[in-house]
Structure 1
Amino acid sequence: MTGLATIRILLVDDHPVVRAGLSGLLSSQPDLEVVGEASNGLEALDLLEKQKPDVILMDLRMPQMDGVSAIRQIRAKFPKVQVLVLTTYDTDSEIVRAVEAGATGYLLKDVPREELFRAVRLCARGEAVLSPPIAARLLGRMRGPAEENLSVRELEVLSLVARGLSNKEIARKLKISEATVKTHLLHTFGKLGVDDRTAAVTVALERGILRLES
């Protein structure tokens, strides 16, 4: 193969029609390859060692082992694998539980195809991503001035993002895990009502939450 490096994807959803649709959609992109499918979290864990995916597209409500439980085990056993939640459920509790379990991103199933492709590519690089409706829900959950709601650690992480550091570099500098960096970023996205790190820095600068160093 030449050109772009291929991103290996594992689909985890209990509906075969959904998996088939996603597989066809993702396979239309030259840099995306679906390497396996699972109908629940247990099957996903069994497939991980053999298929070695870069990104898992994970539904939340499934039989035998739900998405949140699977995310926790995947993060513990395969910390380099990124999990992108793709679900119809947008309740506050579902979002927060998935993020706290270690999801790299959270999308709704009605997301436009280009947004899905973009999110998969961002997650493969370890970058946190939220779909705009999810960012809006989290923002609504955390009413009040954003700068008051951002924790000291979230501000620290965001300021390092503004300086151009990657998640791995931020983790090393703050002596925390990359998963923790992503969790802080996802919480920050929700509080600022944005869906990626560039927008978070832009909004934070506009609001005076962050200031450029002279």
Structure 2
Amino acid sequence: MHNDLILPVPVLTIRQGRITPALQQHNMLLQVILKDLGYPDELVLSAESEDSAAQAITEHLPNLIFYRVADHSNLHFLPQIKSLYPSCCLISIHENKAAPSEILKTVQNGADAYLLSDTPAEQLFQQIKCILRGGAVLHPEFAKLLQEQLTSKHNQEINLIFNSVEIQIIEQISQPSSEVQAALALNLSEYQVYSFIKNIFRKIYILHKNTEAAAE
């Protein structure tokens, strides 16, 4: 790994609930990667409760917020984070065994991107760089869930919000293909694919908010 980004802006990790050995190991790796990316130790903040997290967000305005998802019971805090600091980049962290439906719920509640805890170090480094540059990654299992929703008669709303390129990206990665393979197949750059993926997540969030508002 090498440092080509110097970002002297606070970053916050929020840890709630049970922290498994896999998540603890991932946390240590994340600290190393953030330091390698140019974040000094004093700007890497942590919180272990909603109150301390809210205080840290209000006082320090971290540009990156990592939120470790223990279970569905703590997803209610994601919209509050986005309400406290709408321009932050909110990243949920899941164990590799997390169901795609869990990841979908974090995106619906405001996560701009997500990471898996067992991702190898160099790959995780590249994924965080991708997020810092305004993109997001998509794994085959999650893409497959989105693909199923696109073809479901009961979820036509989700089909309407995506453009043709976004739909093709979902189809490519659900096969499964990597973002690199999707870029080659669609004659796009990798950066464009990552940007489209982040836009897909943003549209899922907006659709969910509109659905909730309509139900009230």
Q: What TM-score results when the alignment is normalised by the length of structure 2?
A: 0.60
Number of residue pairs matched by the alignment: 171
Runs of 4+ displaced beyond 6 Å: none
The separation in 2 between residues aligned to 1:106 and 1:59, in whole angstroms, is: 10
Match of 2:136 in 1: 128
Residue deviations 1:48-100 (CA, integer Å, cap 9, x gap): 1222211111111279x71x222211222211101111111521321111111
* TM-score, normalised via structure 1 length: 0.61
For residue 211 of structure 1, what is the aligned residue in structure 2? Answer: none
Unmatched 5+ stretches in structure 1: 159-184, 207-214
Q: Deviations over 1:5-61 (max 9, x none)?
A: 316421122339457514542244142445201124443222112222111111112
Task: Tell me which protein shows more helix as a share of its residues.
Answer: 2
Offset, 1:152: 4.0
CA distance in 1, matches of 2:32, 2:4: 20
- Equivalent residue number for residue 5 of structure 2: 4
Identify the residue that residue 60 of structure 2 maps to in structure 1. 51
Match of 2:93 in 1: 86
**Greater length-normalized contact order (CA 8 Å, ≥ 6 residues apart):** 2
Q: 1:144 to 1:70 in 2, by over 3 A?
A: same
The equivalent of 1:39 in structure 2 is: 48
CA shift in 2, pair 1:121/1:205, >3 Å: closer
Percent identity between matched residues is: 20
What's the RMSD between the two structures over aligned residues? Answer: 3.9
In structure 1, the partner of 2:84 is: 77
**CA–CA distance in 2 between the matches of 1:69 and 1:123?**
23
